Amino acid sequence: MLQRHQVEHWFQEHPGLVHGDVHELMARCEPSIRRHAREDAWMAAKRYVEQKEHDWDEASGAHASEVYVAADVCSRIARELAHHEPEPHEGDEDHLAGGLVKAELEPEGWAYLARWVLDVAREEEHKTWQEIVRFTHTRARSLVEEHHLSSDTRFDHTHCYGQVARRIAAMLERDYSLHAFPR
């Protein structure tokens, strides 16, 4: 994996490939990569939960307490997310770097920097994905408190598992969006 200081050193040895100050360019570029990689990871988790939500449209299931369904759904999704980690690919570099960086480099300079962009993005997305899995695994407890979910198990006071699961999934989708784009 390329380190930032290696990239800066390479550009210092090839000054004709960068238009402007390389340190300023890198100082702008790295936070952009990290922010976009975090956003992309949270949005990938949101898309995954949206797909799962549709699975629960098909199955109504037995009646269950909201507390039980929240714990089950959050735990299940966390386990599944642990095995569906996304990864930035070639072609994502311009988006990750913030768009304007490429214009400040000659093609050879961009090709070199793009390798580093993907390295930083992969590292940040991996770290974020681990955070998403931990967050999802523990989220049921706080959903119960925040939304006053019921632990009542009497048939006439509960809903079908699928109905509650869709509500929990919608809550997770909202959470993921808020983490992707914090205010």
Answer whether residue 128 shows pLDDT above 70: yes
pTM here is: 0.90
pLDDT tens-digit readout, 131-174: 999 999 999 999 999 989 888 877 766 688 888 899 999 999 99
CA angle at 111 for the pair 105 and 112, rounded to the nearest 5°: 90
In the DSSP assignment, the letter for residue 86 is -
The residues spanned by each domain of the chain are 4-178
pLDDT tens-digit readout, 45-66: 999 999 988 777 666 678 888 9
Q: What separation in angstroms does the CA of 56 have from each of 43, 96, 137, 138, 144?
A: 20, 34, 19, 21, 20
For the chain, how big is the Rg over CA atoms in Å? 22
- Separation of alpha carbons 34 and 17, rounded Å: 24
pLDDT at 162: 86
Locate 52 and state its tokens: 């799962």
- Separation of alpha carbons 38 and 24, rounded Å: 22
